[in-house]
Amino acid sequence: MNALAATSRNFKQAAKLLGLDSKLEKSLLIPFREIKVECTIPKDDGTLASYVGFRVQHDNARGPMKGGIRYHHEVDPDEVNALAQLMTWKTAVANIPYGGAKGGIGCSPGDLSISELERLTRVFTQKIHDLIGIHTDIPAPDMGTNSQTMAWILDEYSKFHGYSPAVVTGKPVDLGGSLGRDAATGRGVLFATEALLAEHDKGIAGQRFIIQGFGNVGSWAAQLINEAGGKVIAISDVTGAVKNVNGLDIAQLVKHSAENRGIKGFNGGDAIDPNSLLTEECDVLIPAALGGILSKKGVLILPDILANSGRVTVSYFEWVQNIQGFMWDEEKVNAELRTYMTRAFGDVKEMCRSHNCDLRMGAFTLGVNRVARATVLRGWEA
């Protein structure tokens, strides 16, 4: 099942649980605007190359639309559409005043030089600058893009509209980016897991964790769980997997991974088959990949639209800081993130109780309900 079909299925199930009017349901599913632009740039060798850029702006009932821009050779309208829709429900679950959007350019960033990437980013920004904005649609980094990409978008956008740091989030700190954003998704995972464990009178300390993936999210989650007293017993990435029942030395693993471009060859544990990682015994598995398999086994799953909402929440804090022209220290960012993540978990649990559903459907029901209420209150039928 592709991403759009899976997201739409969850939405329809939530709409049914909420008893949404069929016209309203259809209205919530259809994107507000879909943008497709041609981006032609001179390559370093003087030849011209053309790329197709997309931006799907899904819904703005609860505030300006928000979502990443990815550079990947498989970027297609269906996937961008599904991810934009998912952002609408995710921002609503986190209860931040945004709608959802997503964008991308069909390219292989690894095959482009830095100057080619800059030219491509600036041409894309020129084509969409009048359709994004501080109170309209706020892009962020995603797969294949980073804080440098956002710096180029900010600079190009500012040529048309004046200096506008709040037009993108995930910027370098020197250009108004927020402290604490690098670790935000991993820290959000920690806070959401804490909230879930607290429901069962448990804490992070003493629990055995397995983490699938050791990129930005996985490595930060591992470090923060380790600091909180959790025992990370196995980790995998694209290069391999390693296990130590007594707990891995995360600081050494981070160092090894940075020096060797992956965890393969780490001598602080036993190498295991990455495919067996999901079946190893543990208390908490991050992330809950292969959700269908896990739910059939009766495993309690913390849904992704709640668990990974740390980054968009800190993006919201960045936007707030830019608009106020007043930056926060990292302690305040992390404290606010804990408040938002814990409250969102409580709100999801409340929906689970009132609609007698699991956490995944509770999260979707919460998100869809908030967007539907905002849509009706704004007078969508007028």
Together in a domain, 148 and 227: no
Using pLDDT thresholds of 50, 70 and 90, give the confidence band for residue 20: very high
Q: For residue 8, what pLDDT is reported?
A: 87
pLDDT (tens digit per residue) in 227-284: 999 999 999 988 999 999 999 999 999 999 999 989 999 999 999 998 888 889 999 9
Mean pLDDT for 29-56 is 96
Using pLDDT thresholds of 50, 70 and 90, give the confidence band for residue 289: very low
Tell which wins on pLDDT, 308 or 121.
121
Together in a domain, 143 and 59: yes
Together in a domain, 240 and 126: no
Say if residue 308's pLDDT is above 70: yes
Q: For residue 278, what pLDDT is reported?
A: 84
Final residue before a domain boundary, out of 266, 299, 332: 299
Using pLDDT thresholds of 50, 70 and 90, give the confidence band for residue 1: low
Percent of the chain with pLDDT over 70: 96
Together in a domain, 44 and 157: yes
Together in a domain, 93 and 197: no
The CA-based angle 298-300-304, given to 5 degrees, is 125
Q: Is residue 149 part of a domain?
A: yes
Of 12, 43, 102, 171, catalytic: 102
Residue 66, annotated ligand binder? Answer: yes
Q: How far apart are CA 180 and CA 154, in angstroms?
A: 20
Together in a domain, 160 and 204: no
Say if residue 288's pLDDT is above 60: no
Backbone angles phi, psi at 36, to 5 degrees: -135, 125
Q: Is residue 198 part of a domain?
A: yes
Per the CB < 8 A criterion, the answer to whether 128 and 38 are in contact is no
Token pair recorded at residue 299: 């495993």
Alpha helix (H) residue ranges in the chain: 3-18, 22-29, 77-93, 114-128, 147-161, 184-199, 216-227, 250-260, 291-296, 304-307, 310-324, 330-355, 359-377
Residue 216, annotated ligand binder? Answer: yes
> Can 23 be counted among the known catalytic residues?
no
Q: Is residue 113 part of a domain?
A: yes
CA–centroid distance for 223 within its chain: 19
Number of domains observed in the structure of the chain: 2
pLDDT (tens digit per residue) in 368-377: 999 999 999 9
Mean pLDDT for 312-327 is 97
Q: Is residue 64 part of a domain?
A: yes
Token pair recorded at residue 165: 């740091």
Residue 200 is part of which domain span? Answer: 184-299
Using pLDDT thresholds of 50, 70 and 90, give the confidence band for residue 292: low
Dihedral over Cα of 316, 319, 323, 326: its sign: positive
Is residue 59 packed enough to be buried (19+ CB in 10 Å), middle (13-18) or exposed (0-12)? buried
Residue 127, annotated ligand binder? Answer: no
pTM for the complete prediction? 0.93
Write the secondary structure of 126-189 as one string of H (helix), E (strand) and C (coil).
HHHCCCCECCCEEEEECCCCCHHHHHHHHHHHHHHHCCCHHHCCCCCHHHCCCCCCCCHHHHHH
CA–centroid distance for 204 within its chain: 23
Residue 296, annotated ligand binder? Answer: no
Amino acid at 11: F
Together in a domain, 261 and 143: no
Together in a domain, 229 and 144: no
Residue 315, annotated ligand binder? Answer: yes
Q: Is residue 281 part of a domain?
A: yes
Together in a domain, 132 and 158: yes
